[in-house]
Amino acid sequence: MVKLLIIADDFTGALDTGIQFAKRGIDTQIFTGRKIRKKNITDSAQVVVVDTETRPLSGAQAYQIVKEVVKDAVKICVPTILKKTDSALRGNVGAELEAVMEAAGEKSMYFIPAFPDINRVTRGGIHYIEGELLENSAFGKDPFEPVDCSYIPELLSRQSRCRIEKVGLDDEFPKTTFDDSTIYVFDAEKKEHMIQRTEELKEHQKIRLVAGCAGLAECLLTVLNLKEGEQRTVQKQKGLYVACGSLNPITKEQIEYASARGFSRLNLSPRQKLEEDYYEKEEGRKVLEDIKRICSRETRVITDTFDLEDDKATLNYVREHNIPEESIRYRISSCHGKIVKHLLENGMEYTIMMTGGDTLMGLMKEMNCTQLYPVCEIEKGAVLSLLIWNGRRIQVISKSGGFGSKEIITRIADKVIESNLVNSQELF
């Protein structure tokens, strides 16, 4: 029986939240479609995660999509709904919280946006990233979804018609209810604060609609009656191939760190990452074969889409070819999907790591896959899952562009690569 529905606005968000339950052996299913069909849910599933891919959409579009997902959940009587939000508050947070309340027929939503384990806290309704105001952090400069407001009540008011109520660390749990749809925003600076609030939610029987990031999902484990089971483990493989679709400066630092420590780095030109039929042409097919040859010699390979020498090369190409800027992210994710699919079709037996929420989705679309099975959180914010394709069990790792220390890629490589194959010349 499904006891919890998680609604995420991008794929990495769906995975890094779902894994909080899967790593405890709780049967968790992740769907990439925008519909919940009872026939596709296994009898043993306790947690269902739906990726709506609404982060880059308009507020009105996101509202309608999330509303329909919640209507499906109501039909199958899911008792608790967690609206997973980005820990840096990107996307249509306010609109999506309002949609959940509307579809569920509830007037109150309890929102705990902090993630203290990765130094993202809320104090006085203001969100901080590693001690900086959110708007002054790397997320204020995000190339696709810059966040220019650190004060959460103001941010939510821009995106919804709901009443916003702050709840400070020393404030009692709110017992007053309003006629208006109300979002209660809770401060939290430590994990203990979040655990306390989730316990209060259960005590006051307000666990129906909650919102927050992966940090909140972990805290919910203590108050939801979920049955734990056998845990899956990582399988060592021949190598690690990193498809970097993120343009976040945090990811760029991680790529440069790995490159300086033995990774072979391949950098795609604007044409290679943005021309939609490039890999169907002779030149593109040659590039695919070149990447395949490099992977046959090396066990640690990165393909990325950053501009190296001219930091305006991509923008200039977009303007010269009249490419809509909003399509850049999808073209980049699609190109990575084509490359990885080619490598897998030719027998590569590497773990695949994909950075950026759209990047893994690009591969899923290329391979016509709609479900993943989360295995473990191999590093904080990096989820290892199984993708079943043509009878093969493929290990894929997803990581949001803004997550992780500079060493994260090298640490992951050490965990997934068979050490006795590091110098092998015949890997696949």
pLDDT for 373 equals 83
Tell me what the mean pLDDT of segment 311-333 comes to. 88
Residue 401 confidence class, pLDDT cut points 50, 70, 90: confident
Report residue 61 as tokens. 């579009």
Query: Domains (ranges, CATH) in the chain?
Result: 4-220 (3.40.50.10840), 240-421 (3.40.980.20)
Residue 225 confidence class, pLDDT cut points 50, 70, 90: confident
pLDDT in tens, 336-390: 999 999 999 999 999 999 998 688 889 989 998 877 888 898 998 789 998 889 8
Task: Pick the more confident residue, 425 or 68.
Answer: 68
pLDDT for 420 equals 56
Q: With 50 as the cut, is the pLDDT of residue 324 above it?
A: yes
138 contacts: CB under 8 Å, gap ≥ 6: 129, 248, 249, 250, 402
**Amino acid letter, residue 36:** I
Q: Which of 110, 100, 94 is nearest to 158 (CA)?
A: 94
- Per-residue DSSP letter, 295: H
Task: Pick the more confident residue, 381 or 426.
Answer: 381
pLDDT for 310 equals 65
Report residue 357 as tokens. 């929420």
pLDDT in tens, 36-94: 878 888 888 999 999 999 998 999 999 999 999 999 999 999 999 999 999 999 999 99
pLDDT for 421 equals 47
Q: Within its chain, how far is the Cα of 38 from the centroid?
A: 24
Judge if pTM exceeds 0.85. no
Q: Which residues of 120-146 are buried (b: 16+ CB within 10 A; e: fewer)?
A: bbbeebbbbbeeeebbebbbbebebbe
Q: With 60 as the cut, is the pLDDT of residue 162 above it?
A: yes
Rounded CA separation 243/398 (Å): 10
**Amino acid letter, residue 52:** T
Task: Pick the more confident residue, 229 or 244.
Answer: 244
pLDDT for 428 equals 53
pLDDT in tens, 258-293: 999 999 999 999 999 999 999 999 999 999 999 999
Task: Pick the more confident residue, 400 or 63.
Answer: 63
φ/ψ region of 16 (left if φ > 0, alpha if ψ in -120 to 50, else beta) reads alpha
247 contacts: CB under 8 Å, gap ≥ 6: 143, 144, 305, 306, 356, 401
Q: Which of 367, 372, 402, 405 is nearest to 387 (CA)?
A: 372
Report residue 407 as tokens. 């060493």
Rounded CA separation 111/174 (Å): 12
